[in-house]
Amino acid sequence: MSDCERLSDRMPDVAMQRAAWTTDEAAHLASCAECRAEWDLVLAARRLEASAPTVDPTAIAAAVERRLATDRTAGRRNRWFWAGGAAAAAAAAITLAVTRGPEARPEVAPVVAVETDPLVPLPELEGLETAQLDTLLQTLDGPLAGTSAADSASVDEDADAALEQLLATWEG
């Protein structure tokens, strides 16, 4: 660090009378035009500060306190506003859901509760006449329409043999 830089770093403290120039520093200041110009500038900045209009700290403190109080009140009011708004929206949604009635609700598959006798596995058969039940039984006893050969009971022996062969290849 050069002498000029060292002096520059010390200038604020000396200007504020927190320190004083040493003999060497004073000699450098006397011989260095750049440092003297900077020192003059620092002193001028101090004089500028001293020439500033004064403010009334008590009046400003009161004004700041008032603004902070107003700000806090407004903040609380805003919080209540938003909380109230949210609550009102929720209440409106619930009210709407309750008062619109089932006809206005979106269509959903109705859930029908059917009371069933646990001993009757197919309660819909209970309403059929005897003749109707006989007809139904006959259709169930007969071959099912649309079933493939593979599904039918008459799966042939060739198929059985092929399956056994396949299993044998899997088992090695």
Partner 1 sequence: MSASPMLETPSDHELASAYRAGDERAAAELVRRHAPALGRYLYSSGAVPDEIDDLVQETLFRAFRRLDGWRGEASFRSWVFAIGGNVLRDEFRRRKGRQVLSLEDRDLPDRADPDADLAAAETQEGLRCGIAALPRLQREVFLLRTQQGSGYTEIAAALGTTPGAARVHYHHAVKRLKELVR
Catalog residues that contact partner 1 under the rule CB under 8 A: 8, 11-13, 15-16, 18, 34, 37-38, 40-42, 44-65, 67-69, 71
As measured in angstroms, the least distance from the Cβ of 80 to partner 1 is 20
As measured in angstroms, the least distance from the Cβ of 113 to partner 1 is 59
**d(C-alpha 80, C-alpha 60), whole Å:** 30
Would you say 43 or 128 has its CB closer to partner 1?
43
Would you say 59 or 112 has its CB closer to partner 1?
59
Would you say 31 or 95 has its CB closer to partner 1?
31
As measured in angstroms, the least distance from the Cβ of 44 to partner 1 is 5
As measured in angstroms, the least distance from the Cβ of 48 to partner 1 is 5
Q: Which residue has the tokens 């001028």?
A: 44
92-101 core/surface letters (b: 16 or more CB in 10 A; e: else): eeeeeeeeee
| Residues 120 and 126: beta-carbon distance below 8 Å | yes
Would you say 58 or 165 has its CB closer to partner 1?
58
DSSP code string of 110-162: --------TT-S-GGGGGS-HHHHHHHHHHHHSPPTT--TTTSTT--HHHHHH
